[in-house]
A = this chain, B = another copy of it.
Amino acid sequence: MVRDLRICCVGDSFVAGVGDTRCLGWVGRLGVSAHAAGYAPTLYNLGVRGQTSTDIQIRWLGECERRLPAGSDARVVLSFGVNDTSWDGGGPRVDPEVSQEALTRMLAHAADRDWRVLMVAPPPVDDVAHNERTADLDERFAEICARAAVPYVRVHRALRESALWMREVAEGDGAHPGARGYDLLAELIAPHWREWLSAE
């Protein structure tokens, strides 16, 4: 009997796959690989453009609860932070301590519900100072996930060092890559995704 695997992917525009002409994003690419590996996942993409950790914190629980019924193998993938660290006049849109608090609370709510979580780091954009702030948040998120025993996929640095990613972002809207960038991001996540999927 096939497991009733249901996965909500929660986050921002990178989760939604904005800019991907193939309309899969990294979420869809990982879904395809899960099917190929013999899983039959029901995948829900709950990425929303422009949202920060605090925006996501408001909506994610309701949206996930109605998609993850009791009795299913209920899972959540989280990825956000780039909008938290974007500059808004005198400072980042969300203070790093507030972002940390949001993530900490989300992980606690997920644990309460027995939802197994995987977290993916916020990727870099075409703005050096913005990326510095995101790299700092990346460290903070990694620590929080380590304490919660949640796997955290550290893609931020690898993407900054990728000529392909940085070029597609620059040639796009300055934030989002195209189809090849999403290929690359999905490849970076894939080994962690496979291990996470196989955990019972």
Q: Which residues of B contact A6 (CB under 8 A)?
A: 49
Contact between A59 and B66, CB atoms less than 8 A apart = yes
Q: Mark A58-96, 1 if CB is under 8 A from B, else 0.
A: 010011001101000000000000000000000000000
A35 at interface by CB-CB < 8 Å:
yes
> Given contacts A66-B59, A67-B48, are A31 and B23 in contact (CB under 8 A)?
yes
* Interface size of A as a range: 20 to 34
Task: Specify how many copies of this chain sit in the oligomer.
Answer: 2
Report which of B21, B29, B62, B69 forms a contact with A35, defined as CB distance below 8 A. Answer: B21
The stretch among A37-45, A103-111, A162-170 that forms the contact with chain B is A37-45
Q: Which residues of B contact A45 (CB under 8 A)?
A: 44-45
Q: Which residues of B contact A11 (CB under 8 A)?
A: none
Show the binding face of A for B, using Cβ within 8 Å: 6, 13, 16, 18, 21-24, 28-29, 31-32, 35-36, 42-45, 48-50, 55, 59, 62-63, 66-67, 69
Contact between B32 and A16, CB atoms less than 8 A apart = no
Inter-chain CA distance A43–B27, complex, in Å, is: 14
Contact between A23 and B21, CB atoms less than 8 A apart = no
Q: Which residues of B contact A21 (CB under 8 A)?
A: 32, 35-36
